[in-house]
Structure 1
Amino acid sequence: MNAKEKTMQHFNKTAASYNSTSDGKFVEPMYEPILNEIQKLQSGKILDVGCGNGNLFTLLPDGKYELYGVDFSENMILEAKHNCKTKASFLVADVEALPFKDNSFDIIICNASFHHYIHPNKALREMQRVLKDGGILLIGDPYVPSLVRPMINILIKFSEKGDHHFYGFKEMKNLFIKNGLSPVYFEKTGEHTALHIAEKL
């Protein structure tokens, strides 16, 4: 079973109880810095890739943004629809084949899911494709210190959660540039989390 299959299995299994799991508790502190970036935009169309149970969208004001979420866990999408009601539209979809037209979104969020992607370049190309010119990509992901990251990236291949690779700031910057995105800035948002921001020019 590869990392993608493990990821789907893990999140289908934990969707109903996600908020009380270690994953749910880990990701919660990442919401505030992402929300701060989103709220710099007065209105617009937003896509959450790997949206999980829709928690992030429940924290945004009603009616201000046009909200869409995708996740390839069917059970997570069911939870997201239940939690957000008519506030957002949700679809089961893979980041490698997003079901949207080119230049569709003002902001794309990818929170705590990028480290699961086994084809990061393909994922970034798809996100870049559906992002509008001048649009912003916000990637929140685990932060692992550079000294231990190589060893951790070997060990996570055995993870049952489907973790695939943890990225440093320089590595993420190079991925952005390679896939048509301009790095804006990177910041450590917590002891174990970081926010990577890029713009489509």
Structure 2
Amino acid sequence: MSRERAAQLEYSEFQAAMLDEEKRRRKAAKIIAVLGHFLGRDAADPGDVLSGLTVADVGCSAGFIADELAGAGASRTFGVDIDVPGLRKAAERFGERVEFLCADGSALPFPDGSVDVLVFNHIYEHVVDPDAVIRDMRRVLSDDGVLYLGLGNRLGVIEPHYKLPFLSYLPPAAADRYVRASGRADHYYERFRTRRGLRRMLAEFHIWDYTLPVLASPERFAGGELFPGGVGRAAKATLERTPRPALAALLPVVPTYLWVATKTPKRPLGAPLPQPPEPVRTP
């Protein structure tokens, strides 16, 4: 029987990827590029993309992404996490321009409608109650605000944390046995959802899917961290040749979705793209 889940305190202490500064900053560049396109600021100076906006990175850990958000011109930047060691490291390095707060994502320390941009990047699978976190992010997001989401897919073939095929497909007890047999962990904590489950989780939002645009235009969206080097160029060429209906048919099994969500109906304001973002759902 799978053990009961509890909050992953001190996550950066046992997940080295959270302290990989170069990789985290590449992720931040992609996030900022997507936000810039959606907001119609894709032609702006990189230091002005988030100018005049209040921004919060929920699940910030050691603060590298929050620091990049501040560097993109945010008027006020917050990093929120329950990872105390990570927050301590973050505050020591970036505390002069980012406000780091120890708080649970389901009880964010912000007034209603007070945040213009929220970032929730590859966090939901680690959260005990992601639906509660989504509800509270909707509460604090302004009516004109934007929520960036990096969302792992349960049907991605290779599980991203342990690099084991089909691990996330399994029920918890079987996944525990599999990851234990591999010698990579004593149990499998993460809980991914399918595309359909993610749509349900975000049922109160209007959502635009940037997954294919980022893959098709990696240089434009600083998306090389998804498919580095020659793999990225090959992916781009394949995506450009593949008919849109065929690409859409593959979406249920892509490993990661990149979505932008809003409380009220909005459209991306950036320049036209070879593979334009498409709506995922409208409440």
**TM-score when normalising by structure 1:** 0.79
How far has the Cα of 1:27 moved from its partner?
5.5
With over 3 angstroms needed to count, the CA separation of the structure-2 counterparts of 1:142 and 1:163, relative to structure 1, is: farther
Pairing 1:151–2:151 present: no
Partner of 1:195 in structure 2? 258
With over 3 angstroms needed to count, the CA separation of the structure-2 counterparts of 1:33 and 1:80, relative to structure 1, is: same
Seq. identity, %: 21
Pairing 1:86–2:96 present: yes
Residue type of the alignment partner of 1:197? V
Alpha carbons 1:3, 1:162 under 8 Å: kept? no
SS of structure 2 residue aligned to 1:90: strand
Partner of 2:235 in structure 1? none
* Cα distance in 1 for residues equivalent to 2:18 and 2:116: 28
* Cα distance in 1 for residues equivalent to 2:105 and 2:23: 22
Could you tell me which of 68, 92, 99 is aligned with 1:59?
A: 68
With over 3 angstroms needed to count, the CA separation of the structure-2 counterparts of 1:56 and 1:78, relative to structure 1, is: same
CA deviation vs aligned residue, 1:23-49 (integer Å, no higher than 9, x gap): x78766533321213343443000110
Alignment length (residue pairs): 194
Could you tell me which of 181, 187, 193 is aligned with 2:205?
A: 181
* Cα distance in 1 for residues equivalent to 2:188 and 2:170: 17
Bigger share in strand: 1
Partner of 2:28 in structure 1? 31
Alpha carbons 2:108, 2:136 under 8 Å: kept? yes
Residue type of the alignment partner of 2:85? N
* Cα distance in 1 for residues equivalent to 2:108 and 2:70: 25
Q: Which moved more, 1:128-137 or 1:111-120?
A: 111-120
* Cα distance in 2 for residues equivalent to 1:115 and 1:72: 15
With over 3 angstroms needed to count, the CA separation of the structure-2 counterparts of 1:150 and 1:194, relative to structure 1, is: same
How far has the Cα of 1:90 moved from its partner?
0.7
With over 3 angstroms needed to count, the CA separation of the structure-2 counterparts of 1:145 and 1:30, relative to structure 1, is: farther
* Cα distance in 2 for residues equivalent to 1:162 and 1:104: 36
How far has the Cα of 1:14 moved from its partner?
4.0
C-alpha RMSD of the superposition: 3.1
Q: Which moved more, 1:191-200 or 1:77-86?
A: 191-200
* Cα distance in 2 for residues equivalent to 1:17 and 1:181: 30
Alpha carbons 2:56, 2:78 under 8 Å: kept? yes
With over 3 angstroms needed to count, the CA separation of the structure-2 counterparts of 1:55 and 1:2, relative to structure 1, is: farther
With over 3 angstroms needed to count, the CA separation of the structure-2 counterparts of 1:63 and 1:37, relative to structure 1, is: closer
- Equivalences for 1:93-172 in 2 at 5 Å? 93-145=103-155, 148=166, 149-151=168-170, 155=175, 163-172=189-198
With over 3 angstroms needed to count, the CA separation of the structure-2 counterparts of 1:84 and 1:2, relative to structure 1, is: farther
How far has the Cα of 1:144 moved from its partner?
4.5
* Cα distance in 2 for residues equivalent to 1:146 and 1:87: 37
Q: Which moved more, 1:27-36 or 1:117-126?
A: 27-36
With over 3 angstroms needed to count, the CA separation of the structure-2 counterparts of 1:155 and 1:16, relative to structure 1, is: closer
Structure 1: give runs of 5+ residues left out of the alignment. Answer: none
Partner of 1:73 in structure 2? 83
Residue type of the alignment partner of 1:187? T
Q: Which moved more, 1:123-132 or 1:190-199?
A: 190-199
